[in-house]
Amino acid sequence: MTQLWHGTLKKMRVEPDADGLAHYSLTDGFWNPAERAADHPLDEHIGHELHLEFQGRITCVYCGRATKKTFNQGFCYPCFQARAEADVCIVKPELCHHHNEADPCRDEDFAQANCFQPHVLYVSLTSGLKIGITRRANVPTRWLDQGATGAVPLAEVADRRTVGLLEARLRDEGGLADRTHWTKLLKFETGEGDLPAYAEQVAGMLADQGVTLLPDDERVVRPFRFPVLQYPEKVKSFNLDKDPHAGGVLQGIKGQYLIFDGGVINLRKYAGYEVVVRSG
């Protein structure tokens, strides 16, 4: 087999073309930028054999410390405990404690660069209809990372905590879903639901709460397609902690999952793992 790439895993880089088709590349997550491998496009490998071999080495993608396991997408435990990127409010922005003098933000520069930036509340169709939030700068990458076949931005909010509180209210009081069922995502080309109708429903709920909506010409469906030749009837995951090999014929890519004829692997889950990638 031919070696194609040797690096440290992180989530794949993904960009849509003018027709909404997602294009993926392997991206090196090694902590030192000077030692990272170049990105490797994956489009040409779909329909052909591709193999990942875990080299037995895991390093923190933020500090480079060797670790036996990672936390929260590539952190060693000390970074997980100390870095702002791993704080609870990253996953649950409604729990932001920046304003709490007794428990201030872990990193003020990080807060200003990431949290105190415009955020978008949106609806999308992944395994089903859901709501979500993301920084304006992450549109449309966030939707592609989730495997969304369509998304509609509804409102823009000034900061992460405010949009997080809004999302939590829609979820907890309005009963709206904010999760994706990953097995359903990988078994079908598109999830179930009428996205335009759902967008109107959620827009109405936001308006009733006094939220200013985006203009009509921005509240439109953004459609996406993923490079998948065949979806699996049953979803079986590769586990690099139990077996250092993952691969086979690459049937497609959706979200952050490589879909092989013998199983799937979420590359985002293995951030910090050193691998060699070969073509068969």
Q: What is the mean pLDDT of residues 110-124?
A: 97
Residue 242 pLDDT > 90, yes or no? yes
Residue 48, Cβ density class (10 Å: 0-12 exposed, 13-18 middle, ≥19 buried): exposed
Residue 215 pLDDT class (50, 70, 90 cuts): very high
Q: What is the mean pLDDT of the chain?
A: 97
- What is the structure's pLDDT at 116? 97
Q: What DSSP designation does 170 have?
A: H
Residue 110 pLDDT class (50, 70, 90 cuts): very high
- What is the structure's pLDDT at 232? 96
Tokens of 252: 């497609």
Lowest mean pLDDT among 25-29, 74-78, 97-101: 97-101
* Maximum distance among all Cα pairs of the chain, rounded to whole angstroms: 60
The residue type found at 108 is E
- Distance of alpha carbon 270 from alpha carbon 265, whole angstroms: 9
- What is the structure's pLDDT at 188? 96
- What is the structure's pLDDT at 1? 87
Helix, strand, or coil (residue 3): strand
Share of the chain above pLDDT 90, in %: 98
pTM to 2 decimal places: 0.95
- What is the structure's pLDDT at 158? 96
Residue 280 pLDDT > 90, yes or no? no
Q: What is the mean pLDDT of residues 10-17?
A: 98
Residue 43 pLDDT class (50, 70, 90 cuts): very high
Residue 50, Cβ density class (10 Å: 0-12 exposed, 13-18 middle, ≥19 buried): buried
Q: What is the pLDDT of residues 44-53, one digit of tens each?
A: 999 999 999 9
